[in-house]
Structure 1
């Protein structure tokens, strides 16, 4: 007797589950997704179940799907995998059952069972992370655990007396400060329901509609497929919240299309990688990051989303300009007319797919929490799918959506337990404030140098973590330093969040570029360099939040208009300087490129009105030089003979 094949098979890192094992995986995933859709619509049962079930189900799914080592069974979990599943169920289940009793009667006096289950849970969380994300984040987690014990050996301000093993395990496991802390609560309450919403939206036909709409809008333009990639990645990435998931889903279509019309493989991969990375800070949803940011800053989710409208728009305008200039420089055309759909028929067929997004934004504007928006957005996607016969979601599609959301969560959720361990180590030792003090001292109190250090640290930390993981760590160790130097709280957190996004495309470890390179068949490092070139604006935006806060809606309406207009002209100058051409000429010499570089620097980081004027004059001069226009000359002195210059040349 064979198992049903409703959900096909599930694959990851050398293992493909089929048959009954695939059915078991799908069953666990469906219950996981269904439980959190229920709690997002009707309220959580308890804090313990909300946080505990999230980590429990995430670990079980990871142990079923991801092998522990090379040579492990490729079509089923091993005995060790099943033992780890049992360890996750027992240790997390014990915490859910005993937390109230611990909080009321055993604080600072944990039992042997508490400590035993705590040690097992710590191992389970670290192993969950290792299987999906590799050893880097696990090593970081172990470092933060070990420093709690050997605190007296840490240098300078980072030193502390050190703690016992029992105290470390108790704080990490038994409290709601580390493994089961605010990061887990945020993912369980806010992030995961939106992953299920994204799966529902995709299965309702919205993914195909957004791709067709982008093709209809930009396909026939020069370099059209790259513009399709940019627009679809902005739309899809906002919902998915994962740059790698975005690359894999949209890149499977856009990268071959870009290569077909003449984009070099590493350029095609780089464009998809940077566009997918930008989707993580594209309103209205902004993936997982905005929920963590709102929680850590105790700010309104909708307010943060609104603050990101201008920066995200400027970023994608820059990417589109870079793509257009690449097409000019290399003579690339668009998709043939007969292969591109017309806009109005596409909109007529799929206009209703915008309604779930409108429902979510409308609920947020009316004061409802994000998880309620995710619930009703999913319900509206399900209902609206029945407007067309070919997109109707029946019971099987609904279950598939729940499974898809839980399956997508394994990549992001696998890091959460270990991130909780890291945050617990930072909080228990007071390392966050100490590190911030060290950062301020090292920078000499110079804000620009501190911001540069934050960027470097974010790239290093991002090598072994996801965007969300990098941001969570940086929000504790780096953001306080910027706040101490006078940067507003939300702006400081946005600096480190955008810096964390940057780590997705910065070689040598650039996960988004690696995923795109696999599809494009290109060298991963060259793809990462290309992504960094096309995403240069992402390097500059964190500094803009400090020196041109008007783009974050700080200040008066004039401050906002002034900063936005300056950035529009500045990013145009930067794009032309990087690509070495204008929108009407294929090549420019070094001199106008240098002039345009200088203009972009003055316009993107204005200090005084005369800096703006100088930037605009340099921009005009750079354009004139690039286009071969006559430059204005200084007036000739009356005493100077008209042909004196000829005489000198002779």
Structure 2
């Protein structure tokens, strides 16, 4: 059997490994995933090994796959890359070996070797992030390290006495508070096992099944390909939790279909980008940031998933309404009947792929940890693959699944160590509460401007980081401000998390829109603004959580029902205002659009049931009159 059958070329954003370099990469990636698949099921390793191996192997894979600059070799790693690999491996191995001795004998008095290794490790981890994500996140990390030394020169409430270089290096490297802190622990313990689970589902045929199911369910509707994108991205997003990965995976299928049936290229790309972004908060298996959220708020992952059912459903309903009205406005149809598979046949052939998800949720319900659920979900996917010859995961597919899981971790994992450095700088300087106090003061003690500032900050931070990275930073510096202003803790953190998701589609740096535009052949900025239009409720959800936490089932049953129905009706009204059409009135004039916009504004606000009913009644009467008093319509 040839090695190419097992070790084909490895494609990266800027490098294509082949030959022995591809073999080495795939072996390391598969071993990496295999190690954490084992730990998720049996967990028989030390804390320092769990965290250290994750950062170390992530860096090794990044240095193999991502070139240092545009002048670096594009088909193999260079001598410089191997030097960086050594710079990552040696100090992390040293930390794992010496951690117990440090904790017992050298706390507050690190040795000279501790400090040398710390400096090397910090630089190597920063380089890991720079290669994958660019310089912005690294600049933020360096700024937080620098402020530790120059704390006395910081303005106002942010000032502190400053720390010595020795103290900064010790806290950042030797402890389990910064580089090897909660962010690294969460990814190594919870997130990576779910990435492995997603890779196994993809290799066993579940990805194809979800696409076929989306086609069968929505293909015949007007604008069917766009609705397929929504359903498929929601289903796949509940597994992968990465908006860019969802966009590339499902978009390669749905975007050409949308264009073929009449959607403009930028609209097709926008719909896929926003649908894939929604996959990050789609239960039952949500994005990586939710695991961090569960850890920071000391709330069970299952509880958070259940709390997100209503918001996620409302988000996707709004998106489907927007697509349907877009199809009505442009006279778009669904797919030809010959291209639409039977729902029953699709379920008969692939319905068993829901079982791994059932296994994961079932284990969470009866009290097992998320990583244990991911382990047995992975096992279930492997076993179920043997039901059909074409999906069986023999040795080759098993190796490919493990290798792909390790490969896919490079994008998300590259930021983790640097985020740990940032969080360490915030903790050591006590900036979390200080920044929250400054935010509350800048907002004048009022909630509305505070939420506006948090949303804007999340978009800015999201320009140089992932959704998870944005949330991690904001959870420390912004969420406490919302809590101080009376928002329940879970609602505050989820408001910050949804705001962080918004950066994926917000120009000028909208990574999901860029990925979709590349497939659609459209302008990225135009695609990003269109995605923002189709995902308008994502802008409003953080405000809804702050003012109406009933959407998160925080409150009485009547309140939850009232606010959910009000948000649903508001979403339909907003869609009509944005699209300039509604089913029973056709094309709307500007006055009618203004009425729908006003109705949406009132219903989104935390008004009483009586006021909501009055506004709906008055708006209904006004719109009924418009049928008999037409005004020059503007499509």
Bin the TM-score by the shorter chain: over 0.9
- What secondary structure, in the 3-state scheme, does the structure 2 residue paired with 1:304 have? helix
- Output the TM-score relative to the length of structure 2: 0.98
1:495 aligns with 2:499: no
Cα offset for 1:406? 0.9
Which residue of structure 2 lines up, in the alignment, with residue 263 of structure 1? 263
Q: Which runs of 5+ in 1 are unaligned?
A: 632-650
Which residue of structure 1 lines up, in the alignment, with residue 353 of structure 2? 353
Change (3 A) 1:370 1:625: farther
In 1, distance between residues paired with 2:628 and 2:69?
A: 64
2:247–2:516 Cα contact (<8 Å) kept: yes
1:172 aligns with 2:172: yes
In 1, distance between residues paired with 2:574 and 2:172?
A: 47
Which residue of structure 1 lines up, in the alignment, with residue 123 of structure 2? 123
In 2, distance between residues paired with 1:262 and 1:44?
A: 55
1:144 aligns with 2:156: no
Cα offset for 1:606? 2.8
Which residue of structure 2 lines up, in the alignment, with residue 50 of structure 1? 50
1:215 aligns with 2:215: yes
1:606–1:612 Cα contact (<8 Å) kept: no
1:600–1:615 Cα contact (<8 Å) kept: no
- Output the TM-score relative to the length of structure 1: 0.95
Q: Which has the larger radius of gyration?
A: 1
Change (3 A) 1:252 1:623: farther
2:179–2:420 Cα contact (<8 Å) kept: yes
1:580–1:588 Cα contact (<8 Å) kept: yes
Cα offset for 1:329? 0.5
- What secondary structure, in the 3-state scheme, does the structure 1 residue paired with 2:11 have? strand
Cα offset for 1:3? 4.7
CA offsets, 1:254-312, max 9 Å, x none?
Answer: 01110011111110000000000000000001021211100000111100100000000
- What secondary structure, in the 3-state scheme, does the structure 1 residue paired with 2:6 have? coil
Cα offset for 1:92? 0.6
Which 4+ stretches in 1 moved above 4 angstroms? Answer: none
Matches within 5 A, 1:316-355: 316-355=316-355
2:50–2:189 Cα contact (<8 Å) kept: yes
Q: CA RMSD in A?
A: 1.3
2:227–2:320 Cα contact (<8 Å) kept: yes
In 2, distance between residues paired with 1:621 and 1:103?
A: 72
Cα offset for 1:584? 4.3
1:573–1:596 Cα contact (<8 Å) kept: yes
1:596–1:622 Cα contact (<8 Å) kept: no
Change (3 A) 1:619 1:284: farther
In 1, distance between residues paired with 2:126 and 2:371?
A: 28
Deviates further, 541-550 or 500-509 = 541-550
1:360–1:377 Cα contact (<8 Å) kept: yes
In 2, distance between residues paired with 1:41 and 1:193?
A: 9
CA offsets, 1:38-79, max 9 Å, x none?
Answer: 000011410011000000000000000000001111110000
Change (3 A) 1:2 1:76: farther
Cα offset for 1:558? 0.5
CA offsets, 1:194-220, max 9 Å, x none?
Answer: 000000001110000000000001001
Cα offset for 1:605? 1.6
Which residue of structure 1 lines up, in the alignment, with residue 61 of structure 2? 61
1:372 aligns with 2:372: yes
Which residue of structure 2 lines up, in the alignment, with residue 110 of structure 1? 110
1:526 aligns with 2:526: yes
Which residue of structure 2 lines up, in the alignment, with residue 250 of structure 1? 250
In 2, distance between residues paired with 1:397 and 1:328?
A: 44
In 2, distance between residues paired with 1:137 and 1:272?
A: 26
In 2, distance between residues paired with 1:561 and 1:87?
A: 56
In 2, distance between residues paired with 1:390 and 1:452?
A: 51
Which residue of structure 2 lines up, in the alignment, with residue 438 of structure 1? 438
Which residue of structure 2 lines up, in the alignment, with residue 638 of structure 1? none
Cα offset for 1:618? 4.3
Change (3 A) 1:72 1:622: farther
**Count of matched residue pairs:** 630
Change (3 A) 1:597 1:621: farther
Deviates further, 207-216 or 613-622 = 613-622
In 1, distance between residues paired with 2:492 and 2:560?
A: 18
In 2, distance between residues paired with 1:625 and 1:82?
A: 74
1:610 aligns with 2:593: no
1:281 aligns with 2:281: yes
Cα offset for 1:526? 0.3
- What secondary structure, in the 3-state scheme, does the structure 1 residue paired with 2:287 have? coil
1:2–1:19 Cα contact (<8 Å) kept: no
Cα offset for 1:133? 0.3
Change (3 A) 1:379 1:619: farther
Which residue of structure 2 lines up, in the alignment, with residue 305 of structure 1? 305
Cα offset for 1:617? 2.2
Cα offset for 1:624? 2.5
Deviates further, 606-615 or 364-373 = 606-615
In 2, distance between residues paired with 1:625 and 1:67?
A: 65
In 2, distance between residues paired with 1:2 and 1:215?
A: 37
Cα offset for 1:620? 1.6
- What secondary structure, in the 3-state scheme, does the structure 2 residue paired with 1:4 have? helix
Which residue of structure 1 lines up, in the alignment, with residue 187 of structure 2? 187
Which residue of structure 2 lines up, in the alignment, with residue 643 of structure 1? none
Q: Which runs of 5+ in 2 are unaligned?
A: 631-635
Matches within 5 A, 1:412-561: 412-561=412-561
Which residue of structure 2 lines up, in the alignment, with residue 563 of structure 1? 563
In 2, distance between residues paired with 1:268 and 1:618?
A: 36
Which residue of structure 1 lines up, in the alignment, with residue 599 of structure 2? 599
Which residue of structure 2 lines up, in the alignment, with residue 135 of structure 1? 135
Cα offset for 1:567? 1.1
Which residue of structure 1 lines up, in the alignment, with residue 225 of structure 2? 225
In 1, distance between residues paired with 2:141 and 2:15?
A: 26
- What secondary structure, in the 3-state scheme, does the structure 1 residue paired with 2:335 have? coil
In 1, distance between residues paired with 2:601 and 2:523?
A: 31
2:562–2:609 Cα contact (<8 Å) kept: no
